[in-house]
Amino acid sequence: RSARTGFRAFNEGTRETGREIDFVALRQALAKGTPWTVELIESLMPGQGK
């Protein structure tokens, strides 16, 4: 799943927003037991939460 999310980020990202998901936020969310949801994926996309 992380690969799919990363590929999406690369495809949708730009030079300005970046092309990588927030891997630190991903690992922290998974450590807390956060399920893989559309909301989680959206929160990891480049430019979100900045």
How many CB atoms neighbour CB 43 within 10 A? 16
Q: What are 20-42's pLDDT values in tens digits?
A: 888 999 999 999 999 999 999 99
Long-range contacts of 2-8 (CB under 8 A, 24+ apart): 2/26, 5/41, 5/44, 8/41, 8/45
pLDDT tops 80 at residue 15: yes
| 20, 6 Cβ separation under 8 angstroms | yes
* 3-state DSSP assignment of residue 36: coil
The overall pTM is greater than 0.95: no
Sorted by where each begins, the domain ranges of the chain are 2-44
Mark out the alpha helices in the chain (DSSP H runs): 2-12, 23-31, 38-44
Confidence of residue 19 (pLDDT cuts 50, 70, 90): confident
